Chain A
């Protein structure tokens, strides 16, 4: 064990030292205000160096306390006195070896829970202790009411409230320090008690080692640290003890290898009691508000209901504000544009007219009418994200999956899925257990993404009017249910129900920042328009070509022939060939389903696409189509990242098979159920 070197002498303080001298140490966890207090007390009378053999800064200074020369050392921040870090070793060796006349423990009134572990260890050491209850201003600002007197009575040592940063309360602290140094006040530390069974073990170890301790460490402290499994102390004792004695000690320690937890546990129970006694009003304000809101928002049952309610509200808003705007765009803008283009292109070859009026305006134009609905979606989700709600939404969903025995670590990627499934699949990289990651990759596409929601928002109001909110809401719940069920099933089947823990502390709720939200809505809208101009446009041209070739008649076109070929499959779900084709063309991008329908039905100023659709299909078929859209194989981009992230075509095949089966069964069931109730 190294002894600490003496520091070079400092210039003596100006004041005389009639009352003798004293050595004081400032101890505390990091960031409690030790150095602030140290600077306040010593001013320029300080020396900065390094602790011997360590890169940790050592600060020592001097000041005059009512005629007494005080040497004061600013110890590095330490969480405990166990050998977990160089700082902790320095702090404890200084206290044990240099034996300061007094230790000032600087603790934070705003984070008493955080501060008291070290205090528990200091109390057990028996050094004269005074507590500087710092950061009283922060505590007050956060609405915490704390009773220093109660804490003082419970700890058995003086507690002085203070604000080091404003030099408030420092005089009182010095008065108390003076009284203790002068012996006018004798602290009677009341450390946490040791469990009776451990007390017995401790005294056993203590008798074994006490006659061999040739250094200044107290035997009871060494015994306790051995029981806690402290690496340094264990090493030291093994070196000092004769082999057979060490064997005995080692045997006892092996029989109590859980003692570290028991000892620490006892300290935390003690901290809990201290905090309950000393804090008469807990935190209010932002943190208090978060705690109160989360009693509902993060509750396994109420949280789910709240999530369902919020989703309902978003859909209601979308349909009352977005749908009329979309209708207007569809009739006034797209319809008018189609009529105007037909006239302007009257002299052009028929195929140019078809490509522009049906393909571009009918197809891509119909998709662009989503924009108002999407903007409302984007804004709503950006708002929920920005205030910190989305983390809760994902958490309660994950909670539900956890109830069903699913791995608990997938919620982060899943909550990205509400925006787009591609980042959700990529986001599974944060899961480092491979089975859990694969499972999350497989189920992530069941999180309804914005593109699917846009298709729903287009079709649902046309068929279900004011009930569209309920239908949409039901569809989302249905896909989430499908997610939970297939997750549970896959988990049992493939991964035999592995579970491991994942612990999270939610972010605080905060007021939304309109700029952030605006920027997000703008970026996403721009991305959507870009997608309409690229992937959707390309597919629309292709679909139009196939619907036009070989002889310009839709009913005998290649597309129709293909549609009739696969039509029988769709019939189970209530689809005609056009719906089946629309579904298949949604593979490059989900919005293409609408573009294709726009091309196949043709738009005109008299009738928008929604009117044409309601005339052609029953509500049962529409409901089935929406269900299938929610559950169908994800878009091309998502499949590509599934291949990339899962690493093999085998898992892509499993994923495609899963969604094909799910969507087919779901669609057929919904269709027949809907017919049965007379829709």
Chain B
């Protein structure tokens, strides 16, 4: 199942956990767990929409990125 998940990821694009769950015929929870596993093994890295680059931004106080992405978890392939 992890192999299948990795194949989906290698296909590229924006992938959503529940969509992946449907494609893999499993639960979103299990997909999240597998993504965390891939992250720990170095295949993926987790992704912060508001990291250090945001601190130097002049629009920080007006920017809604943090609020919009709160409660959201994001990953991306390594080396991108």
Contacts and interface: CB of A to CB of B under 8 A. Distances in A.
A416 B66 CA distance: 11
A412 interface: yes
Contacts of A388: 71
Most buried by B among A395, A426, A432: A426
A416 B65 contact: yes
B33 A412 contact: no
B32 to A, nearest CB: 6
B64 to A, nearest CB: 6
Contacts of B27: 113, 272, 275, 282
A422 B58 CA distance: 11
A331 interface: no
Contacts of A390: 68
A432 B80 contact: yes
B30 A505 contact: no
A503 B10 CA distance: 11
A487 to B, nearest CB: 13
Nearest to B30: A113
A502 interface: yes
Interface stretch (A200-208, A256-264, A577-585): A256-264
Interface in A549-579: none
Q: Interface residues of B toward A: which range?
A: 35 or more
B12 A500 contact: yes
Interface string A361-373: 0000000000000
A185 interface: no
Interface in B1-29: 1-4, 6, 8-20, 26-29
Contact of B68 (A291, A415, A432): A415
A505 B32 contact: yes
Q: Interface residues of A toward B: which range?
A: 35 or more
A269 B20 CA distance: 15
B12 A501 contact: yes
Given A411-B14, A501-B77, A504-B73, A291 B28 contact: yes
Contact of B10 (A395, A501, A507): A501
Nearest to A394: B68
Interface string A408-440: 110110011001001100110110110000000
A627 to B, nearest CB: 28
A264 B6 CA distance: 12
A114 interface: yes
Contact of B14 (A272, A419, A502): A502
Interface in B44-64: 44, 47, 49-51, 53-54, 57, 59, 62-64
12 contacts: A79-B37, A265-B3, A268-B34, A395-B14, A412-B49, A423-B64, A432-B80, A501-B76, A502-B47, A503-B16, A503-B20, A503-B35
Given A84-B40, A502-B47, 7 more contacts: A80-B37, A265-B1, A265-B2, A268-B2, A272-B1, A432-B80, A501-B77
